[in-house]
Amino acid sequence: MSIVHSCHQAVWHATRSQLFLIDPHTLRLLDTNPAAGRQSGGRAGDDFAAIAPALSREGFDAALAAGTAAGTTLARTDGTSYPVTLRLLRVRHDDRDCVLAIAEDEAATDVLQQVQTRFDAIVSHTPGLVYQFRRETDGRVSFPYLSEGCQALLGLPAAELAAQPEQFAHLVLPEDRQSYLDAMASSAATLWSWNWEGRIWIEAWKDVKWINLRATPHVLPDGAVQWEGIMTNITESKLEQLEVRASRSRLAELTAHIEKVKEQERTRMAREIHDDLGGNLTAIKMALAMLAARLPEGDDVLARKAAYVDELADRTIDAVHRITLDLRPSILDFGLVAALEWQVKEFAAQAGLACTFHSNEKDVELDADQATALFRIVQEALTNIAKHAHASTVTVRLHSTRTHVGVKITDNGRGIRSADRAKPGSFGLRGMAERARALGGTLNLAHAPGGGTVVAIRIRRAGPGDGPEAATIRAAIT
């Protein structure tokens, strides 16, 4: 007959204490728990006097009558003995009077106490709440263990939260509560670490805190899932992080605004140079032609002077034309596809490289600021290829969809190293990345198959109400 009739089976098998169920008349063992069996080797039918040779029958009866714990020694199967604290209690088992002997191994108790002391010291100096959290198969939750950090972190005594464990979910702000429950369910299903951060309302201080929860799950024999972990207050670091994000957003917005103003200024300067200088140079050319026609015949010196001035005027007109195109290519007025195709041809002629351009559409409708910024990124990428790549071929591909526009610039040069991206003077790469980010897009660098580099730019088409600043804020926040 099992002891389960007088003592809960789980306690009987799980306790560290050695339990002996004894016939009070014969002192024969009726049952022993696993802890007692391991230490003493005692089994049902054995004589308890052989296990406790230092305890006489008179001493046994006296200890039973007193009901208090007393020190004695028990024998192991190998003949050695060990000190214990022994308590004898009268119990009923199978409708008969029995004696329950509870022996506590003093050495093990001391070690356990030392371990407990060290654990308490570690927990007390841990910044946060050390806890155990359990979820039953029917969804009920409990906190089997809560450290004293509960009061400092949550504003609740540990005993109060342990008595009402469902309170914790209600501390989480409504807008963060679903992510908390989803993270718990995911951790329970996958048995991966539960790592969640969110905001809780501290009623005691009428304040909101950011907390981070990290815990490791395991499944219990009854199917429940139990986590051991720690909760910490991350309010200060989280607010700093949010401030950094907001600062980056403001900086990115300012950068986008500066680029927009710079392009507007370039456009104004290009127009003034073209209109004023171009007009004046054309007038000079016409005046030179009239003067040259009136030069005395046979005056070769003046004729050569006039020809030189006319040639100088032509070179100046070409320079004005080149500077105007650098400031703002008028070809952009004909659309992005035409502008990129022209730029690739110009680059091929200037750099002496084999360059090709492909587009999946004949025309791509973009906001003027987006088209200009994308053109500038491609322009800078081609400039970098000419300076650093040592390439012989370059391919530029424009791909447009309903929501996004992408450009890939591929060369067969020496490739780009990680150190090149991080070096202090790489303003070209940073400028390209910032322009892409200002458009709410991305810029990626990768190694091309067979050698070389691929620069991939992908931007989102501006929708109703969108602008460069709006795209910049979205990109900075995400």
- What pLDDT does 122 receive? 62
Predicted structure pTM score? 0.47
Q: Which CATH number fits domain 331-477: 2.40.160.20, 3.40.50.450, 3.30.565.10, 3.90.470.20?
A: 3.30.565.10
pLDDT in tens, the chain (478 residues): 444 344 456 667 767 788 999 999 999 999 999 888 888 888 889 999 999 998 899 989 888 888 777 888 898 878 888 888 888 999 888 888 999 999 887 665 555 566 566 666 666 666 789 999 999 999 999 999 998 889 989 999 999 999 999 999 999 999 999 999 999 999 999 999 999 999 999 988 899 999 999 999 999 988 999 999 999 999 888 888 888 888 877 877 777 677 778 777 877 887 778 778 878 888 888 888 888 888 888 778 888 888 888 889 888 888 887 887 777 777 788 889 999 999 999 899 989 999 999 999 998 888 888 888 888 889 889 988 998 888 999 999 999 998 899 999 999 998 877 666 656 556 667 778 878 887 778 999 888 888 889 999 999 886 544 544 444 434 443 4
> Cα separation of 371 and 410, whole Å?
20
pLDDT score of 7: 41
Q: Do domains 3-112 and 331-477 have the same CATH topology?
A: no
pLDDT (0 to 100) of residue 427? 64
Residue 121's pLDDT is what?
A: 63
Pick the CATH number of 3-112 from 3.90.1010.10, 3.40.120.10, 3.30.450.20, 3.30.360.10: 3.30.450.20
- In words, the CATH class of domain 126-233 is alpha beta
Q: Where are the domains of the chain?
A: 3-112, 126-233, 242-327, 331-477
